[in-house]
Amino acid sequence: QVQLVESGGGLVQPGGSLRLSCTASGFTFNSYVMSWYRQAPEKERELVAGISFDGTTRYADSVKGRFTISRDNTKNTVYLRMNNLNPEDTAVYYCKGGIGNIFYWGQGTQVTVSS
């Protein structure tokens, strides 16, 4: 059974930091591209960051220099370190694992940036 379980979300003040984690099971994690997406209220889900099996990363322009994606294949876990958060980062953050035409999604974790 495939599972992607996110954790680490919460309420943080502007300028603060959070680290999201996503632990996977049920598929060959180290072969998959792992990504973080987010969806704000009344907006479409958007790609935040992705990391391939060889560690190549990519980021949305809005988070470059603030967010860092990483993975630990020994723990089947992908991380998203988020620094200098602002209210525009408020969203539900989703973890996604993909290879070819196969995709798996986590249930999401809420991140709220507010004073």
CB burial readout 41-61, b (16+ within 10 A) else e? eeeeeeebbbbeeeeeeebee
Relative to beta strand 46-51, strand 33-39 is antiparallel
Q: Distance of alpha carbon 36 from its chain centroid, rounded?
A: 3
d(CA 25, CA 76): 7
d(CA 59, CA 67): 8
Q: pLDDT tens digits, the chain, 115 residues: what are they?
A: 999 999 999 999 999 999 999 999 999 999 999 999 999 999 999 999 999 999 999 999 999 999 999 999 999 999 999 999 999 999 999 999 999 899 999 999 999 999 9
Contact status, residue 50 vs residue 33, Cβ threshold 8 Å: yes
d(CA 93, CA 47): 10
d(CA 53, CA 62): 24
